[in-house]
Structure 1
Amino acid sequence: MFNSRINYVILLFVVFGGFLIFGLSENVKGPALPSMEKDFSLNETQLGILLALNSLGYLLACSFTSFLTTKIGMKLTGILAFASMAVSGIFLYFSNGYASLMASYFLLYIGNGMLEIGLGIMAAHIFTKNTGTMMNLSHFFYGLSSVGAPVIGASLMGWNFLDGELGWRGMYLIILSLSILPIIPSLLGKFPGLNQDETESETISLRGLLRDPIAWLIVGVLSFGVVSELAIGSWLVYYLQNAYDWSLKKASEMLSLFFIFFTLARLFAGPITDKIGYTFSIMLFSAFSGVCSLIAVLVGEPCAILFAIAGIGIAPIYPTVMALLAKRYAKGVGIAMTFTVTLMGISSVIGNLLIGVIISSVNQFFGQNPANNLLGLQAGYIFIATLAILCSICCVVLYKRLQVQDGEVI
Structure 2
Amino acid sequence: MTPKRQFKIGLILLAYVAFISLGLPDGLLGVAWPSMRADFALPLDALGMLLVASTAGYLTSSFFSGRIMARMGVGGLLAASCAATGGSLLGYTLAPSWWAMIPLGVGAGLGAGAIDAGLNTYIASHHGESLMQWLHASFGVGITLGPIIMTTGLNLFGAWRVGYVVVGVAQLALAGCFAVTASLWRQNGTAGEADAPMRLTDFQTPLRETLRQRGAWLSILMFFIYTGIEVTLGLWAYTLLTESRGIAPAIAGLWAGSYWGTFTVGRVMAGLYAPRVGANRLVQISLLGALVGALLLWWNPAQAVSLFGVGLVGFAVAPIFPALVSGTSGRVSMRHAANTIGMQISAAGLGAALLPTVAGSLARYTSLEAIPVYLATLIVTLIVLHHQSTR
Task: Please point out which of 322, 325, 331 is paired with 2:325.
Answer: 322
- 1:301-316 pair list within 5 angstroms: 301=302, 303-304=305-306, 305-316=308-319
Gap regions ≥5 residues in structure 1 = 161-165, 364-372, 401-410
Contact 1:329/1:336, CA 8 A, preserved across alignment: no
Which secondary structure does the structure 2 equivalent of 1:245 belong to?
coil
Preserved CA contact (<8 Å) 1:153 1:171: no
- Structure 1 residues 159 and 329 mapped into 2: Cα distance closer, same or farther (>3 Å)? farther
Determine which of 378, 383, 389 is the counterpart of 1:387: 378
Letter in 2 for 1:16: Y
Compared CA separation, residues 177 and 320, structure 1 to 2 (3 A): same
Instruction: Name the CA distance, whole Å, in 1 between partners of 2:273 and 2:211.
Output: 31
Counterpart of 1:408? none
1:187 maps to which residue? 183
CA RMSD of aligned residues (A): 3.7
Q: Equivalent residue for 1:291?
A: 292
Q: Structure 2: 5+ residue runs without aligned partners?
A: none
Deviations 1:159-185 (A, max 9, x none): 99xxxxx95675355222222223334
Deviates more, 1:81-90 or 1:57-66: 81-90
**Counterparts in 2 of 1:107-126, with a 5 A limit?**
107-126=107-126
CA contact (8 A) 2:47 2:357 kept: no
- Percentage of matched positions with identical amino acids: 18
Match of 1:336 in 2: 340
User: Matches of 1:209 and 1:193 in 2, distance apart?
Assistant: 26
Q: Which residue of 2 aligns with 1:210?
A: 211
C-alpha contact (below 8 Å) 2:48/2:354 kept by paired residues: no
1:232 Cα deviation after fit: 1.2
Amino acid at match of 2:143: S
SS of residue in 1 equivalent to 2:188: coil
Tell me which amino acid in the other structure corresponds to 2:312.
I
Matched with 1:398 is 389
Cα offset, 1:317, TM superposition: 1.0
Shift of 1:281: 1.2
With normalisation by structure 2, the TM-score equals 0.81
CA distance in 2, matches of 1:153, 1:242: 18
| Match among 34, 42, 45 for residue 44 of structure 1 | 42
Q: Distance in 2 between matches of 1:173 and 1:360?
A: 31
Supply the distance in 1 between the matched residues of 2:246 and 2:164 (Cα, whole angstroms): 35
Assess if the C-alpha contact under 8 Å between 2:61 and 2:114 holds in 1. Answer: yes
Number of aligned residue pairs: 376
Secondary structure of the residue aligned to 2:390 is: helix
Query: Could you tell me how far apart the structure 2 residues matched to 1:157 and 1:256 are?
Result: 14
CA contact (8 A) 1:92 1:172 kept: no
The answer to whether the 8 A contact 1:294-1:385 is kept is yes
Contact 1:65–1:114 (CA<8 Å) still a contact in 2?
Answer: yes
| Greater relative CO (CA pairs within 8 A, separation 6+) | 2
* Structure 1 residue 257 displacement after superposition: 2.8
**Separation in 1 of the partners of 2:5 and 2:353?**
42
Identify if the C-alpha distance between structure 1 residues 298 and 14 changes in structure 2 by more than 3 Å, giving closer, same or farther.
Answer: same
Measure the CA separation in 1 of the matches of 2:251 and 2:199: 55
Contact kept? 2:84, 2:108, Cα under 8 Å: yes
